[in-house]
A and B are shown apart, each in its own frame.
Chain A
Amino acid sequence: MTSMPEPAAVPDPNAPSGMLESDLVKRARHGDLVAYDELVRRYQQRIYATLYHMTANHEDANDLAQEAFIKAYSALKSFKGGSTFYTWVYRIAVNKTINFLKQRKNKFHLSLNDIDFNAEHDPDLMALISHKTPTRDVALNELQKKLNEALLKLSEPHRMVVVLHDVQGQSHEEIAEILGCNIGTVRSRLFYARQQLQGYLAEYIKA
């Protein structure tokens, strides 16, 4: 007598979580919201994080991320597949955010997320703040505020490049594709933005 395999151990190829991105896009284009739900799940964290680092405001990032995914769904029929869905939706989110920030201008307030527990065990961060104040969490919160304020002083294109490269860890090529510019522009923007940030955060950076 042969034993039946455990159902949980066999991945279902028809389940949205096991499907390829291109198949999910195809199904979503025909109105399959279950497939689109899976696409949102795959990229929600990265999209949200980028928008949060750009706006320094959780509520704004939440609204913009939702709107970006909604707009992407409504424009899905025009998606030709020239790039990945991920790059395409990223581009929509980035454009939406830059337009939003232009309208917002100086009318903003910080609504920062909490810092996770691991930050207090990061030797690099601890090395930066250990000599500032005796209480680590207070020092971290102060550093977080200063860092976000410094980022907000950068222009949107420069901030976007720093966020995508130095915070999100994306490559120059990916950033160029998302922003629709060449790699040289990405590099020069990154260099200029880092120089600016270095000036704003001089007190925290060892000479």
Chain B
Amino acid sequence: MKENEQNFDELKKLLKLKQHEIPPPGYFNNFSGKVVARIRAGEAANRGSAYEQVETHSPWLARFIAIFEIKPSVIGAFATGLCLLFALGVALTAKDGAGTNGLMAETQDPAAPAMSLASASITAPLLADGGGGIQISTNPVSLQPMANTFGQANPLFQPASFGH
């Protein structure tokens, strides 16, 4: 360890050369002036820009964006968080969908396994006429596509007559 330290001392002596590297003469005389000039130019160009408006109207959002600028690692963390949230949402949706399908399968009448929504809409008005039950569909036009689909005349549908 002692030997290593001594060797590092030699390295440190060598690294001292870096301290003697200097920029061109007068370089720092106008460095801050250039920075301030660029800030002024940027302010003039960005006046009325989207970010400026965000900063004026929603300072909290501007501060939020500024965090990303200062700490780039936060961008990664934020993006990861969003991805996890999205994945969680997809997983929950898939789970809910599976649960609903199962529930529908359980509630289906085993005697009429092929009962569809369309047939339900046909039988509903019949039930309503017969016994005063609850009418599900009040739109007779919705029945028309059924006749067209199967090429059969609908018994509930009377063709219009224009004769006097």
Which A residues form the contact surface with B (CB < 8 A)?
Answer: 33, 36-38, 40-41, 44-45, 48, 52-53, 58, 65-66, 69-71, 73-75, 77-78, 91-92, 95, 99, 112-116, 118-119, 122, 124-125, 127-128, 140, 143-144, 147, 162-163, 166-167, 180, 194, 197-198, 201, 204-206
A70 touches B35 (CB 8 A): yes
Nearest chain A residue, comparing its CB with the CB of B7: A198
Interface size on B, residues (CB 8 A): 37
Task: For the complex of A and B, list the 7 residue pairs with the smallest distance between their C-beta atoms, beginning with the closest.
Answer: A119-B20, A40-B32, A78-B66, A124-B13, A113-B21, A205-B10, A167-B18
30 pairs across A/B with beta carbons < 8 Å?
A: A33-B39, A33-B40, A37-B32, A37-B35, A40-B36, A44-B31, A48-B31, A53-B18, A66-B34, A66-B38, A71-B69, A73-B39, A75-B69, A77-B66, A78-B63, A99-B72, A112-B21, A113-B22, A115-B17, A115-B21, A116-B22, A119-B17, A124-B16, A125-B13, A125-B14, A140-B17, A143-B17, A147-B17, A147-B18, A198-B11
Which B residues form the contact surface with A (CB < 8 A)?
Answer: 7-8, 10-24, 28, 31-36, 38-40, 42, 59, 62-63, 66-67, 69-72
Scoring B8, B15, B18, B20 by chain A CB atoms within 10 A of each residue's CB, the highest score goes to B18
Per DSSP, chain B at the interface is helix
Q: Which of B12, B21, B70 contacts A144 (CB 8 A)?
A: B21
A75 touches B66 (CB 8 A): yes
> B34 — which chain A residues lie within 8 A by C-beta?
66
What CA separation (Å) do A92 and B67 show in the bound complex?
Answer: 11
Scoring A69, A127, A144, A163 by chain B CB atoms within 10 A of each residue's CB, the highest score goes to A69
Nearest chain B residue, comparing its CB with the CB of A169: B19
> B39 — which chain A residues lie within 8 A by C-beta?
33, 36, 70, 73-74
B11 touches A205 (CB 8 A): yes
What CA separation (Å) do A48 and B24 show in the bound complex?
Answer: 12
> B11 — which chain A residues lie within 8 A by C-beta?
166, 194, 197-198, 201, 205
Q: Which of A33, A70, A78, A143 contacts B70 (CB 8 A)?
A: A78
What CA separation (Å) do A119 and B42 show in the bound complex?
Answer: 40
Q: B76 to nearest A CB, angstroms?
A: 12
B28 touches A44 (CB 8 A): yes
